[in-house]
Amino acid sequence: MDKTELLNALADEIRVCPLCRLAETRTHAVPGDGEESAQIMFVGEGPGQQEDETGHPFVGKSGKLLMSELQKIGINRREVFITNIVKCRPPGNRTPLADEIAACNDWLSAQIALVEPKFIVPVGGPSLQTLVSKNLRITRDRSHVFRRDGILFIPILHPAAALRSPDTMKLFQEDIANLKKFLSREIGESEITDIAEVAPISKPAPDEDGGTLSLF
Ligand code: URA
């Protein structure tokens, strides 16, 4: 099987995945879309209502905002790969629970292994913490470059947060502008944090006991 066939076969398995409780409430699983050999992969938190209805990622209000901002910096939806840390909509758009993220992790790892992106853009806190390190916080660590397993990660704020607050919208737009800068030049070694170097945070995030990852 070639890469396209492997990604399609993976998507078919994801569409019938029974591995966590989100399978019981989904309309459609949302495996992900895009270019099979994309240099850049965007990984969000999880499908919302419109994604659940259509089976495609980032097609709702926040997805449209992300795509229009990316268009402005010359990135087209068709040339990147877009997916989420969980492939099924959490009811009421709640943050995915730790066990749901863990159950879905092999799907995401397989997608990353097949696409082999040079850059991954974690969109929002849960994606950053899942993909890079639980010790990171999106509001502190956004627009920085991390490296793990040879892949460069450039986290950005979630567009849903930007839609809720004009101040966060400015920061989100700043993240997109920084993303453009990082993608258009050589990134120096001194700008890259290898994830082993990330210091543990001194106190637990407020929601850690609840088993969920915090959006910010
Ligand atoms: N749509 C998605 O597919 N993912 C998100 O994280 C938000 C909206």
32, 11 Cβ separation under 8 angstroms: yes
Atom of ligand 1 nearest to the CA of 83: 3
Residue 3 alpha carbon to ligand 1 centre in Å? 24
Identify which of 145, 144, 168, 146 has the alpha carbon closest to the alpha carbon of residue 157. Answer: 168
In the DSSP assignment, the letter for residue 52 is H
Task: At 51, list the tokens.
Answer: 């994604």
Say yes or no to pLDDT of 209 above 90: no
pLDDT of residue 157: 98
- pLDDT one-digit tens code per residue, 131-152: 999 999 999 999 999 999 999 9
pLDDT of residue 1: 87
The pick from 22, 30, 43, 51 for probing ligand 1's pocket by mutation, whose C-beta has the most ligand atoms within 8 angstroms, reads: 51
Residue 52 alpha carbon to ligand 1 centre in Å? 10
Identify which of 44, 6, 54 has the alpha carbon closest to the alpha carbon of residue 131. Answer: 44
Give the whole-angstrom CA distance, residue 177 versus residue 127. Answer: 20
Give the whole-angstrom CA distance, residue 28 versus residue 12. Answer: 11
Characterize the bridge pairing of strands 40-44 and 119-122.
parallel
List ligand 1's pocket residues with C-beta within 6 A.
44-48, 51, 57-58, 60, 62-63, 84, 123
Identity of residue 41: M
Which residue's CA is minimally distant from atom 1 of ligand 1?
A: 58
User: What's the chain's average pLDDT?
Assistant: 92
Residue 130 CB coordination number (10 Å): 22
- C-alpha distances (whole Å) from 87 to each of 14, 23, 105, 177, 199 are 7, 9, 10, 28, 30
| Mean pLDDT across 201-215 | 42
pLDDT of residue 196: 83
Confidence of residue 212 (pLDDT cuts 50, 70, 90): very low
pLDDT of residue 206: 44
Say yes or no to pLDDT of 202 above 60: no
Domain assignments of the chain as residue spans, ordered by start: 3-185
| Mean pLDDT across 15-21 | 98
Residue 47 alpha carbon to ligand 1 centre in Å? 5
Say yes or no to pLDDT of 213 above 50: no
H helix runs in 56-165, sequence order: 61-72, 98-115, 125-131, 138-141, 159-164
Paired with 212 in beta bridges are: 97
Q: At 168, which helix (H) or strand (E)?
A: helix 166-183
Which residue's CA is minimally distant from atom 8 of ligand 1?
A: 58
Give CA 187 to chain center in angstroms.
21
Say yes or no to pLDDT of 108 above 80: yes
E-only strand ranges, the chain: 33-34, 40-44, 81-84, 119-122, 145-148, 151-153, 192-194
Say yes or no to pLDDT of 208 above 50: no
Q: Which CATH fold topology does 3-185 show?
A: Uracil-DNA Glycosylase, subunit E (3.40.470)
- pLDDT one-digit tens code per residue, 36-65: 999 999 999 999 999 999 999 999 999 999
Residue 65 alpha carbon to ligand 1 centre in Å? 11
pLDDT of residue 197: 60
| Mean pLDDT across 81-91 | 98
155, 198 Cβ separation under 8 angstroms: no
Residue 158 alpha carbon to ligand 1 centre in Å? 9
